Amino acid sequence: MDSRLHKVWAEGKGALNGWLSIPSTVTAELLAMQDFDSLTVDLQHGLVDYQAALSLFQAVQGWGRTPMARVPWNEPGIIMKLLDAGALGIICPMINTAEDAERFVGACLYHPEGYRSTGPTRAGLLYPDYFPNANRTIVTMAMIETVQAVGNVDAICATPGLTGIYVGPSDLAVSMGKSPGIDPTDPEVVANIDKVLAAVKKAGLKIGIHCLAPSYSRRMVEKGFDFVTLGSDVRMIVAAASGDVKAYRALEAGQ
């Protein structure tokens, strides 16, 4: 069950994650054809529900990318259902306390480490050795994206079974009374992210962050992040279309 994501980490490298927000098997497959290490289906702010998520997992199957999902909230039912559908990792939003993290991890793992119900309908077919390896293999990443969570980062990182932390820079900035945005440069926001980075490294866990620009993403890996998300399918399509249309209009105007 060890996936490409585990192999990248075992080599001491930073992993490149893709983000699937569009409920289309076509766009999911197109991203799966690219050289990502993992692909995360976004059920929180994406346009995707459970049935669409299942289809997206099927679309990317066979391309060698580690299938993951960001759940809408810290709710055991959807966490377990996505794992049964084949997700090998879960990113959970708005983990603010150690208790939040414990509930999250517990929903991802089988007894005795957690309380996940047994019934991996699709996952068990994909991975015949699923049950004995699931607790070791499932990636659990708690999102730290508030000032409260930053204050509790040490306690959150002490959660047994937690793989790592995923920083949500936009919500973190909002919780600080600032404007949302990815690839932040605001000194106060950056200071909080650095605080989280130091705490996670001290705890020996993995740390990820949502980015936009390739250059910023690479800087985060060089800074010590183990997992960086490069924009999203929506942003990539809009950026490419916008650039081409603007180029045409400039030519039309004789510029």
- The residues with which 17 forms a beta bridge, in sequence order, are 38, 229
Q: Which residues contact 228 (CB under 8 A, 6 or more apart)?
A: 14, 15, 16, 17, 208, 209, 211, 217, 218, 220, 221
* Full set of structural domains in the chain with CATH: 4-252 (3.20.20.60)
Instruction: Tell the burial category of 76 from Cβ atoms under 10 Å away from its Cβ (0-12, 13-18, 19+).
Output: middle
Amino acid occupying residue 242: S
Instruction: Tell the burial category of 235 from Cβ atoms under 10 Å away from its Cβ (0-12, 13-18, 19+).
Output: middle
Phi and psi (nearest 5°) for 44? -90, -70
Q: Which residues of the chain have pLDDT under 70?
A: none
Instruction: Tell the burial category of 222 from Cβ atoms under 10 Å away from its Cβ (0-12, 13-18, 19+).
Output: exposed
The one catalytic residue among 6, 45, 111, 210: 45
Q: Is residue 45 flagged as an active site residue?
A: yes
Tell me, what's the pLDDT at 1? 73
Tell me, what's the pLDDT at 2? 81
pTM (predicted TM-score): 0.97
Element holding 54 (H helix, E strand): helix 50-60
CB 197 within 8 A of CB 223: yes
- How remote is the C-alpha of 126 from its chain's centroid? 21
As a whole number of angstroms, the distance between CA 77 and CA 149 comes to 23
